[in-house]
Every structure is written in C-alpha cells, then in structure tokens.
A and B are shown apart, each in its own frame.
Chain A
Amino acid sequence: MPGFTGMRQNSATVAVLSGKGGTGKTLVSVNLAAAAEKAAYVDCDVEEPNGHLFFQPEIRNEEVVSLKIPVIDESRCTGRRACVDFCRFNALAFIKGKPFVFPSVCHSCGGCALVCPSGAIRETGKPVGVVRRGISGGVTVHTGALNPGEASGVPLIRRLLRQSEQEPLPLRIIDCPPGSACAVMESIQDADYCLIVTEPTIYGAHNLAMVHELVTLFQKPYGVVLNKCSDGDNRSEEYCLKHGVPVIGRIAFSPQLGMLASEGKIAARESAEYAGLFRDLLNTVIGEVRNEETSASQR
C-alpha cells in the first residue's frame, strides 16, 4: 500500500485532506471536481458528508452497506464455547448452555464461524450505512453516510473507493475525513497525489504537521493549499517553509467565497473568477501528478 501507485490508464486520483476540520477540504475538493468538468467526486467523510449538499446530484444508485454478523444455529451448537473464547472483541457470551451475539460490538472478522467445531455459525448482514452514486453536470458524485450510532466508517469508505474506481473518468477527487486516523488512511490508499488544505492558525499548523507525517509515511506525493490567507501570521505557511513542504496554491480569505460556501454553492460554477482560480489549481495539481509519474517511471 505505501508507495506511489502510479496513474492508472488515463486517470488520476487526488486525495484532499487536512488533519483539521473546517479548513476547506470540501470547498477545495468540490470546486476542483467542478472545474475539471469531467470527474468523479468521492466523499469519504462518511460521518459528516457535505459534498452532496453542493452538487445536489441526481441520484442514480443507492446501496445499503452491511457488515456480516454471526448468527448461531442452536440445533447444531455443542456448547464448546470456542466462539466465546476466540472473540477478542467480547461480542459473544455463553449462558445456560447457549451462545449469543452482541451485534453492536462485533467487528465482523468472521473468526467465530471459522473456529466453531460444530458448524453452528452462519452470517447475516447488519446495515451500517448507505452509499449513493449521482450525477451533477459532468461530475459523478459518490456519497456515503454512516448510520448514527455506528462506530466506524471504514467499510463505507472501502465501498466508495471500489465503486468509484470503476468510473471511466480522467480524474477522481477524494474528499477525506478530518484527522489522521484509520478512516483517513483508508481514504488515501489509492491516491496518486495528496493535496493538503490548511488554514493560518496554530491549530491549523499543528494538524498540518500530523497529516504531513501521514502522507510521508505512506510515501504519497503531496502539496499544500493555504486557505483563508490574509495579512497577519500564517503559522501553516511558516511550517511549510521550515519543513520544505511544497505550497502549490493559495486561496485568499474572502467573505464572498465564504458566503457562497455557506449557501452550499459551488464557487467554480457561480463565478468566473473562482472558476479560473480552481482551474489553475487543478492544472497545477495535474502537473504535479504527471511529474511524479514521469520521475517514478525513471526510477
């Protein structure tokens, strides 16, 4: 998984991430996809998906994503408790001669069914969320939504990535969740390039450092977009200068852009100025991806 995956035939995957929430990940990913005109936009922030609010896509497919949960066949159970002893998540208990399952604690590893000496365990599906595919102009929008109360969005993210991989489109933009935990790692798996969005505060710079560590660890080519730039100290820019992190774009703080975003409007579709800004950023990113591909093939 670590390492440069290389551009698939005629297609690039760019992951947009930030470490910190609220820096403008969705703003940038939505607008880059819109500026590209023909692209797939994949919203991997399945806990709080927002991209679909901007694209308002016409939904074509919807699918419930389920995790496999064990079901005990009591007629076959011989009471050996191999399942209870095996489960490291404590999702099974054995009382008065019968095993039973706690679906909300189960991590769906399939181990209990494997270790049961009596073949008494089969599996059934527990819904954890939904994925949708829709169209907005030339952009195919892939959205996942985790059911409130579910612990992890990773299975949804996996499905979204598989689903969007099939699109015969030249560009796939992945809008990642905030942070650097397992959901983010899952989201950047297939990325040819990571675009890190950050903002000027010390909080932004601190979280930039974490995400920088992540993309470095995963050996992904990366660059930074400084968002909400204004006069005054830009701690994130200072970090980039200090650590040799390439800054490939700058978006000035603008009440107009803020208002468009707060209204759920796609700036690149509403304003010629922003269409130009995001097209330029897109071209820079594609250029970076191509450079990487060239140097990778020369290695």
Chain B
Amino acid sequence: MKIAIPVNEQSMDSEVCPSFGRTPYFLLYNSVTKESSYLNNEAAASQGGAGIRAAQAIADQGVKSLITPRCGEHAVEVLNKAEGLIYRAVPGTARENIEVHLKNQLSLLEEFHAGFHGHAAK
C-alpha cells in the first residue's frame, strides 16, 4: 500500500513538513515492498491551488494513505475522490510516523483548513 508524507529533505529521517501543499518533497513509501522514493512537489511554486495540485500529484502515484500535520479542504476533496485516507502526523520524522502508522496508531485528520489565497470556506 502506498503512503505519502510531506518532507523537508529527501530522507526517511527528515522532519515531516508542516505544510502539505507547499512541501518541497513527498516521501512515497510502499508498505509491502518497503521501497521508498521521493517526488518533487511542483505545486510548491504555484500562486494558488497548491493543495489541489499536490493532491493530484500523489493521487496519480496511486497513494492511498497520506500522513500530514494539516491539509486544506480542497486537497481533501481530491484525495477523498481518489479513495485515499488522511492521517494526522505526529511530531517526529517521516520514519517514525510510518512506524506508528503501520501499528495502526495514527488517527485520521479531522479538521481541514480553508484555502489561503482568497478562497475562504463559505
């Protein structure tokens, strides 16, 4: 099963990035094969709709679980349609979060923020 985590550096020991839409990279981890790869997040440079674009990018990779500290309402919509689940990251590195997740100890992210660039929740 493919897991994505926004990370500041291309390393399993990187801290989880506080932003989803504007993270520099996504760690893509396959829990079956234990393989990891990194995706450059092109959405980071976007003027607006960064969350949408980032969500599209990881959905296109077949990601079914996203682990992130926060996520915008538009990105959630994209991921929900792609039948992905979003988990709340715990403080720590990407590696630590994956370990906790594989023990089924991460909770689902419940609160989603409104868009930041003129796109308020109504």
Contact = CB atoms under 8 A, between A and B. Distances in A.
Q: Do A and B bind each other?
A: yes
Interface of A: 84, 88-91, 93-96, 100, 102, 104-105, 148-152
Nearest to B52: A90
B78 interface: yes
Contacts of A90: 43, 46, 48-50, 52-53, 56
A93 B55 contact: yes
Given A96-B81, A104-B119, A104-B120, 9 more contacts: A90-B50, A93-B78, A96-B83, A102-B49, A102-B74, A102-B77, A105-B48, A105-B52, A105-B119
A96 B52 CA distance: 15
Interface residues of B, number: 24
A81 B12 CA distance: 33
Contacts, number: 55
A151 B81 contact: no
Contacts of A149: 120-122
A93 B49 CA distance: 10
B53 to A, nearest CB: 4
Interface string B80-115: 011100000000000000000000000000000001
B66 interface: no
Interface of B is mostly: loop
B47 interface: yes
Nearest to A103: B119
Contact of B56 (A93, A96, A104, A148): A93
A56 B4 CA distance: 57
Nearest to A147: B122
Contact of B115 (A84, A94, A100, A105): A105
A91 B52 contact: yes
What are the 3 A-B residue pairs with the smallest beta carbon separation, nearest first? A151-B118, A90-B49, A104-B119
Contacts of B48: 89-90, 105
Contacts of B47: 88-89
A104 B50 contact: no
Name which of A88, A89, A93 has the most chain B CB atoms within 10 A of its CB. Answer: A93
A86 to B, nearest CB: 13
B28 interface: no
Given A89-B48, A90-B49, A90-B52, A104 B81 contact: no
Contact of A105 (B55, B56, B74, B121): B74
Nearest to B54: A90
Nearest to A98: B81
B117 interface: yes
Contacts of B77: 102
